[in-house]
Amino acid sequence: MNLCVHADVMVLSPDTGDGIKQHPFTYACILGIFHAEVLHTAPGSWPVFKTMEVLWVRWFRYDMRWKAGLKQCHLHRVYFVLNINSDAYGFLDPDKVI
């Protein structure tokens, strides 16, 4: 993953469980890559320091008004989630990136 070249990534969409058909992927733009030393504590074991890597991302949202797909011969259109939304930015495990 490179912030200077192609910083956009794709992850599997979460299962909402409400039966609404969603696009199988969610997209984000990487804003930063962070490494942290965290103290991992588990019941019944000694605390251990581990290196944790996370991506700070800004999420994209699908333009549902845009007709896309094979029948329409158009790619899906996405746009950034607005800054006023609390879910516009987030942290992502690099292992989840496809």
Q: Which of 28, 87, 80, 81 is nearest to 55 (CA)?
A: 28
Q: Which of 38, 39, 37, 76 is nearest to 60 (CA)?
A: 76
Provide the 3-class DSSP secondary structure of residue 58: strand
Q: In this predicted structure, what is the pLDDT of residue 4?
A: 84
pLDDT mean for each 10 residues of the chain (98 residues): 86 74 85 94 91 95 83 87 90 95
Provide the 3-class DSSP secondary structure of residue 25: strand
Alpha helices in the chain (DSSP H): none
Q: In this predicted structure, what is the pLDDT of residue 56?
A: 96
Q: In this predicted structure, what is the pLDDT of residue 15?
A: 72
- CA separation for the pair 33, 1 (Å, rounded): 9
